[in-house]
């Protein structure tokens, strides 16, 4: 919050980014990041932000939008979508913990790409992509955050037979 010349407090304008993506079955979803700093409000920053996110999700990014409104309409990704490298996992989530001197913020990317830890090459590539995206995210968040933890959480769909 800031004060104008009359001493009246007003809220600064926040920025929000929406990333639209679709999978091979043409199902679509939108990921929203908010509030961000106004430095995200350029085509270059928006494209760089989306490029860092692309390896973390299995869908292909189709658009990156910034509200107070800026949209990259003909988005063309130069990064390949990540893959789901955990066998029999139905939904993976990447959880990024960010801390600053005021508190903690968690950013969860549900239905994220993943990698089995036993596949060291793929896992290292995925970890690099996660931290590159998290570092990019901290440059746009309000509050001078640092990445303190990243967790890959897999959810497994297990059928249980009726014991009777």
State pLDDT tens for residues 108-153. 999 899 998 899 999 999 999 999 999 999 999 888 999 999 999 9
For the chain, how many structural domains are there in total?
Answer: 1
Residue 63 lies in a domain: yes
pLDDT at 11 over 60: no
Q: Give dist(CA 78, CA 112) in Å, integer.
A: 18
> Whole-number mean pLDDT of the chain?
86
Residue 163 lies in a domain: no
Residue 161 lies in a domain: no
pLDDT tens-digit series, residues 93-102: 999 999 999 9
Packed helices 43-53 and 120-138: angle between N→C axes, nearest 10 degrees: 150
Q: Give dist(CA 114, CA 140) in Å, integer.
A: 25
Domain that residue 43 falls in: 2-156
pLDDT, mean of residues 25-48: 93
What is the per-residue pLDDT for 5? Answer: 43
pLDDT, mean of residues 47-51: 96
> Per 3-state DSSP, what percentage of the chain is helix, strand, and coil (rounded to 5)?
20, 40, 40
What is the per-residue pLDDT for 120? Answer: 93
Q: What three-state secondary structure class fits 52?
A: helix
What is the per-residue pLDDT for 2? Answer: 42
Q: Give dist(CA 164, CA 150) in Å, integer.
A: 42
What is the per-residue pLDDT for 73? Answer: 63
The residue count for the chain: 164
Residue 148 lies in a domain: yes
What is the per-residue pLDDT for 72? Answer: 63
Q: Give dist(CA 162, CA 164) in Å, integer.
A: 6
What is the per-residue pLDDT for 27? Answer: 95
Q: Which residues, 6 or more positions from 110, have their beta carbon under 8 angstroms from its beta carbon?
A: 91, 93
Preceding peptide of 35 cis, ω within 30°: yes
Long-range contacts of the stretch 118-127 (C-beta < 8 A, 24+): 119/85, 122/83, 122/85, 123/85, 125/55, 126/55, 126/82, 126/85, 126/152
What is the per-residue pLDDT for 89? Answer: 85
The H or E element that residue 124 is part of is helix 120-138
pLDDT, mean of residues 57-65: 95
What is the per-residue pLDDT for 23? Answer: 94
Residue 97 lies in a domain: yes
pLDDT tens-digit series, residues 68-78: 744 566 678 88
Q: Give dist(CA 145, CA 125) in Å, integer.
A: 24
What is the per-residue pLDDT for 155? Answer: 86
């Amino acid at each position: 919050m800031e004060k104008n010349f009359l001493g009246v407090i007003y809220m600064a304008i926040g920025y929000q980014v929406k990333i639209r993506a679709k999978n091979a079955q043409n199902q679509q979803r939108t990921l929203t990041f908010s509030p961000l700093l106004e430095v995200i409000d350029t085509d270059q920053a928006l494209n760089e932000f989306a490029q860092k996110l692309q390896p973390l999700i299995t869908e292909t990014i189709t658009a990156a939008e910034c509200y107070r409104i800026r949209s990259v309409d003909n988005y063309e990704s130069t990064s390949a979508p990540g893959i789901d490298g955990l066998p029999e996992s139905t939904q993976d989530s990447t959880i990024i913990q960010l801390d600053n001197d005021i508190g903690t913020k968690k950013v969860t990317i549900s239905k994220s790409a993943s990698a089995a830890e036993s596949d060291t090459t793929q896992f290292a590539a995925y970890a690099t992509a996660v931290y590159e995206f998290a570092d990019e995210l901290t440059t746009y968040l309000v509050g001078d955050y640092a990445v303190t933890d990243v967790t890959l959480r897999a959810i497994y769909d297990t059928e249980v037979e009726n014991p009777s």
